[in-house]
Amino acid sequence: MQLIFMGPPGAGKGTQAQLLAALWKIPHISTGDILRACVVAKTDLGQKAQSYMDRGELVPDELLMDIVKERMNQPDASAGWILDGFPRTVPQAAFFDKLLSDVGGGASSSGKGCELKAVNLDVPDNVLVARLLSRGRQDDNEQTIRRRLQVYREQTAPLIEFYRNREQLVAVDGDRQMQEVTAELQKALSGDS
């Protein structure tokens, strides 16, 4: 199973990805977690990424692509994965398609290999802002959150159409109780919907 979890910041991507990864015994790969770990460890990548994250901007493609490529080549990813936080733009999605072909994932639109699904969690902005403020992360204040939502709408939302056009999109209402969202995801992804 190869899944990309999409949705605005605070939609519950990470929570749902962790739950389903544990259930299906596949790795949950969060580019946000990897980036935050790099920031804490003060690696070169972390220091470069920090300046973008502090402004609520997306980390540049080149940095994210290097991280993702390295992670996708690890042995535990060979049986499937849930990717959270990447791709975030259509150019990243095109790169990712090529990467999957290169590492043998074969999740291209040609239908060969494992079928890639892109899961989009829909949640209203007012709910997102409240959720993010309640997390209490250092990088979450209302101004930064609203900027991140604006960046998401401008740069990431076109991915919804990208994957819809390829018939790989699974849309789920994320403005419900966590267990309800998980149940809906399991139903939608197992083909029972």
pLDDT tens digits for range 122-139: 999 999 999 999 987 777
Q: What percentage of the chain exceeds 70 in pLDDT?
A: 92
Instruction: Output the pLDDT for position 104.
Output: 64
- Of the candidates 13, 71, 117, 131, the residue annotated as catalytic is 13
Instruction: Output the pLDDT for position 62.
Output: 82
- Of the candidates 42, 55, 135, 164, the residue annotated as catalytic is 135
Q: Is residue 108's pLDDT more than 70?
A: no
Average pLDDT score over residue span 87-97: 89
* Structure confidence at residue 85 as a pLDDT band (50, 70, 90): confident
Average pLDDT score over residue span 93-102: 86
- pLDDT per position as a tens digit, 138-149: 777 899 999 999
- The vertex-26 CA angle with 25 and 29, nearest 5°, equals 140
- Classify residue 150 as left (phi > 0), alpha (psi -120 to 50) or beta: alpha
Q: Is residue 117's pLDDT more than 80?
A: yes
135 is catalytic: yes
- pLDDT per position as a tens digit, 7-59: 998 999 999 999 999 999 999 999 888 888 888 989 887 888 888 888 888 78
Average pLDDT score over residue span 71-81: 86
Q: Annotated binding site, which residues?
A: 10-15, 31, 36, 57-59, 85-88, 92, 135, 137, 148, 176
Q: CB within 8 A of 104, min separation 6: which ones?
A: 78, 113
Instruction: Output the pLDDT for position 191.
Output: 67
153 is catalytic: no
Average pLDDT score over residue span 101-113: 52
For residues 170 and 145, give the distance between their C-alpha atoms in angstroms, rounded to a whole number: 25
- Smallest CA-to-CA distance from 85 within 21, 42, 35, 40 is with 35
- Of the candidates 71, 117, 131, 148, the residue annotated as catalytic is 148
CATH number for the region 2-190 comes to 3.40.50.300
Instruction: Output the pLDDT for position 163.
Output: 96
- Of the candidates 55, 137, 153, 164, the residue annotated as catalytic is 137
- Of the candidates 71, 88, 117, 131, the residue annotated as catalytic is 88
Q: What is the pTM of this model?
A: 0.80
Q: Annotated binding site for AMP, which residues?
A: 31, 36, 57-59, 85-88, 92, 137, 148
Residue pair 28/17 in contact by the 8 Å Cβ criterion: yes
Q: Is 101 exposed, middle or buried (0-12, 13-18, 19+ CB in 10 A)?
A: middle
